[in-house]
Chains A and B, each alone.
Chain A
């Protein structure tokens, strides 16, 4: 059992609405229908979503999402 928790933050001022997070971690990120910018659904996602969150962070083109382990 992995005890690591992730704290996810999303910065809508940096977001360019490319949708990479919503595509790769749809349980954690969505996009608002007006401007297409990131909406954080789950700031403390369960362990089984950690890999998808890390993928989303690496794929985000505008460094709008970040994670802290703790």
Chain B
């Protein structure tokens, strides 16, 4: 039994700085997380501002803590860990319900869950497929190469979330550029504050314009709800807008790159497109683009594997390391499109588990299906070493993906 202690009692020189750097394989989480996972259930770490907190890396522990009501998602609580200055700014000013606990969190989340049920996402499939086919046609017309990110992976989920929210897609340059700043771990607190303020103003004006119209989109319905303030509507809409396109866009591009780098797996998918549904789960597990951890703070003392996490201490839950835990997934570092990967934690776990996951699944399944069937000669147009990976962003992926066919 290790003495209780706290992460701040560990000598600074021995303490792992997080986020740690990735190793040779751009798809693998930082090797330091794997070493930590092998060594102990719980690891003291140091963050950008010199503060210390705990890191969890094992699948069973990460899953259990995400489902444990004794850990709070409220970033306003002392001890809540932030992986960058920007994260702190973002999470502590007009935060949406992802940074709240129940019952407040449940009250707000329930106003949106109906829009993202499995059946509704399935009903959107033909429309999503038509959008994907149009994008593919535009991308390939008279050309043999393109950047997959800007011409397909980003516009597909952007068009879909704009449709659902009632945001005019013509404004995409405005909100995509600012969303990019919000999700940058390299951006300063001031830059993030400005981007957030501009996006909030944009959404508030849009919501205000919709008040007099009888439209059937999410923002209009939040308006009609009657109990929400303009700030609450803006925070919820902004969450959906940002989360709705950045995540799926990066999963799409990174999935294509991972398949191109694993030609045997790509060949299996091409030979049997029925494998795509399961492959999407495996790609979510293998790539886990939320790569800098999910933060919580303990609201009471919790004992974990012989160590005590005290009330007011933070934990960073490394879902990317948990999804490569061989206690949960045999040969976890291999991409295997035929494995049952459904227990992955890429969408989180507990009451905060991703609200939009049914939609994300359909978008990813359609994107793979349309790209693989439409581009039989798909290949990377540059050496993989030249692909710019998003090390600096909250959501991992690639900044651009030059492809040819």
Query: Could you say which residues of chain A place their CB within 8 Å of the CB of B66?
Result: 61
B106 interface residue (CB < 8 Å to A): yes
User: CB-nearest residue of chain A relative to B106?
Assistant: A16
Q: Are B353 and A37 in contact (CB under 8 A)?
A: no
Q: Pull 13 A–B residue pairs with CB atoms less than 8 Å apart, ordered by A.
A: A18-B347, A19-B357, A19-B358, A22-B119, A31-B117, A33-B119, A35-B114, A36-B110, A37-B110, A37-B113, A59-B342, A61-B67, A62-B351
Q: A31-B117, A36-B116 are in contact. List 13 more A-B contacts (CB 8 A).
A: A16-B109, A17-B113, A17-B117, A18-B347, A19-B117, A22-B119, A26-B118, A30-B119, A33-B119, A33-B120, A58-B343, A61-B348, A62-B67
The residue of chain B having its C-beta at the shortest distance from the C-beta of A36 within the complex is B113
Q: Within the complex, which residue of A22, A32, A61 is in contact with B114, where a contact is CB–CB below 8 Å? A: A32
- Complexed CA–CA distance, A26 and B117 (Å): 12
CA–CA, A20 to B349, complex, Å? 11
Q: Report yes or no: A22 in contact with B67, Cβ–Cβ below 8 A.
A: no
Q: Is A24 an interface residue (CB 8 A)?
A: yes
User: Residue A34 at the B interface, CB < 8 A?
Assistant: yes
- Which residues of chain B from 184 to 203 have a CB within 8 Å of any chain A CB? none
Q: Does A55 contact B (CB under 8 A)?
A: yes
Bits for B343-367, please: 1 = Cβ < 8 Å to A, else 0: 1000111111111011001000000
Known contacts: A59-B342, A61-B350, A62-B351. The answer to whether A23 contacts B114 by CB under 8 A is no
In the assembled complex, A5 has its CB within 8 A of some CB on chain B: no
The reply to whether A16 and B113 contact each other, CB–CB distance below 8 Å, is yes
A61–B117 CB distance below 8 A: no
Interface size on A, residues (CB 8 A): 23
Name, among B116, B120, B349, B353, the residue most crowded by chain A CB atoms within 10 Å (CB to CB).
Answer: B353
Interface residues of A (CB under 8 A from B): 16-20, 22-24, 26, 30-37, 55, 58-59, 61-63
Pairwise interchain contact A61-B118, C-beta atoms closer than 8 A: no
The 9 closest A-B pairs by CB, nearest first: A36-B113, A17-B113, A61-B353, A31-B117, A16-B351, A19-B118, A22-B118, A18-B353, A36-B117
- Taking CB atoms, residues of chain B closer than 8 Å to A26 are 118
Contact call B343/A22, Cβ cutoff below 8 A: no
Are B109's CB and A17's CB within 8 A? yes
B355: contacting residue among A18, A23, A62, CB under 8 A: A18
| CB-based nearest A residue for B347 | A18
Give the nearest-CB partner of A26 in chain B: B118
Contact among B106, B115, B343, B354 for A18, CB-based, below 8 A: B354
Q: Which residue of A lies closest to B354 (CB)?
A: A18
Q: Which residues of A lie under 8 Å from residue B117 when comparing CB positions?
A: 17, 19, 22, 31, 33, 36
